[in-house]
Copies of this chain bind each other. A is one copy, B any other.
Amino acid sequence: MGEDRKEGLSRRKFLLGAGALAAGAAVTGGALGGVKESLAAGQPVKVTVNGVEIAGPVPARIEKGTALAPVRPLAESLGARVGWDNSSKTVTITAGTGAKVATAPAWPWPYNKLDPEKVRKLGYEAYYEGGCMYGAAKAIIGALQQEVGYPFTLIPVDMLRYGEGGTAGWGTLCGALNGSSAAITLVCGKGVYSQLVNELLGWYTQEPFPSKKHEAYSKFKNQIQNVSGSPLCHISVTEWCKVSGKKVTDPERLDRCGKLTGDVAARAVELLNAQADGKFVAAYKPSELFAGCMSCHVGKDSTLNNVQGKMNCVQCHEPHIK
């Protein structure tokens, strides 16, 4: 073992927590790494954890090519608890998952470009596991869990199940938008995520759903499409039921929303990929009529600055200037 094994090269990578059980077993059964064979037996050696030397009343040393170190400072500096079981004369180390030890790395987390078509299918499938918000987030974060692993493995995507049906069925924000926006924000810092989320919502209001890109695996084929003009689940689903003649709880409607979940997650990935390449350009433009509404009502530079939102006014309000 020489320079090529300098910090960062490892023979095995293990999971913390329950995984550490398997890890311990694997270590017991596997070959154990000798350190520098050329060092004299018993020679003291430095041991660092994240660059900081650990020390004890008994120094770390090399014996038979193996580094030995004091258990407590080593284990505790890795976030584990150390105990002593007198009856079995055993030093008991408990990995950090049982205590206040692990934290998330600094936000935003580094993005790794994904395949939108892979994510589209994952979104469709995950919709049937946990609904639209979970489905979209699982498609993107789950793909990052598969392809990158840590730190994305820290995210319990289940915490986003509530967004189904526009949040517990209330028909507010489309859950696929809600879940995709969470995934976007996880990997984009200030000044970036809001641009991408804004673009995603704008695109959604003008896009025909569901796309025809799920035909190979979807339960229902060639479904009728609609452009809802709104990021609200209420309008998206109700209008689709109107044009399709299906009821809200029909399996065809569920399949339509499963496809939409994949479509929105895939679009989010296209935006993230463009951003990663430095090529993101906002394309969404409100209609001329709606832009007219906003010029008077929305934003600090508007005449009245008295309306909060970017949803198309004339879906619910009569236009008062023709």
CA distance A110 to B184 in the complex (A): 27
Beta-carbon contact of A3 and B173 below 8 Å? no
Q: Which parts of A76-99 form the interface with B (CB within 8 Å)?
A: 76-99
Candidates B10, B33, B193; contact of A162 at CB < 8 Å: B193
Task: Return the contact of A83 from the options B6, B58, B78, B160 (Cβ within 8 A).
Answer: B6
Within 8 A of B (CB), among A200-228: 201
**What is the minimal beta-carbon distance from A194 to any residue of chain B, in angstroms?**
5
Measured CA separation A160–B54 after assembly (Å): 38
Residue of B nearest to A316 (CB): B316
A23 close to B (CB within 8 Å): yes
User: With A79-B15, A156-B186 in contact, do A47 and B89 touch (Cβ < 8 Å)?
Assistant: no
A197 at the interface (CB under 8 A from B): yes
Which residues of A146-178 are within 8 A (CB) of B? 148-151, 153-156, 158-173, 177-178
Q: How many residues of A contact B (CB 8 A)?
A: 154
Q: Is the CB of B52 within 8 A of A25?
A: yes
CA distance A194 to B168 in the complex (A): 5
Give, as a whole number of angstroms, the nearest-CB distance from A186 to chain B: 4
Cβ of A182 to closest chain B Cβ, rounded Å: 5
Assembled-state Cα–Cα distance A21/B50 (Å): 6
The answer to whether A310 and B86 touch across the interface, beta carbons within 8 angstroms, is no
Beyond contacts A166-B173, A173-B178: 17 other A-B pairs, Cβ-Cβ < 8 A, are A7-B92, A14-B76, A14-B101, A16-B79, A20-B79, A24-B77, A35-B84, A46-B88, A97-B102, A100-B150, A102-B102, A105-B156, A159-B183, A167-B181, A237-B309, A248-B300, A249-B300
In the complex, the answer to whether B159 meets A182 with C-beta atoms within 8 Å is: yes
A25 cross-chain contacts in B, Cβ below 8 A? 52
Q: Which of A63-71, A118-126, A258-266, A272-280 contacts B (4 or more CB under 8 A)?
A: A63-71
Tell me the bound Cα distance from A155 to B159 in angstroms: 10
Q: Are B6 and A84 in contact (CB under 8 A)?
A: yes
**In the bound complex, what is the Cα–Cα distance between A162 and B136 (angstroms)?**
15
Find out whether the CB atom of A5 lies under 8 angstroms from the CB atom of B84.
yes
Of residues A168, A169, A242, which shows the largest number of chain B Cβ atoms within 10 Å of its Cβ? A168
Q: How far is the CB of A233 from chain B (nearest CB, A)?
A: 6
A14's partner among B77, B104, B158 (CB-CB below 8 A) is: B77
| Min C-beta distance of A56 to chain B, whole Å | 4
Q: Are B91 and A46 in contact (CB under 8 A)?
A: yes
A-B contact pairs, 28 of them (CB 8 A): A8-B83, A13-B100, A24-B50, A27-B54, A27-B73, A33-B72, A35-B84, A58-B64, A58-B68, A66-B72, A68-B71, A96-B150, A100-B148, A154-B155, A155-B159, A158-B186, A162-B185, A166-B309, A167-B197, A170-B198, A170-B309, A171-B307, A172-B231, A236-B308, A238-B307, A248-B300, A249-B299, A249-B300
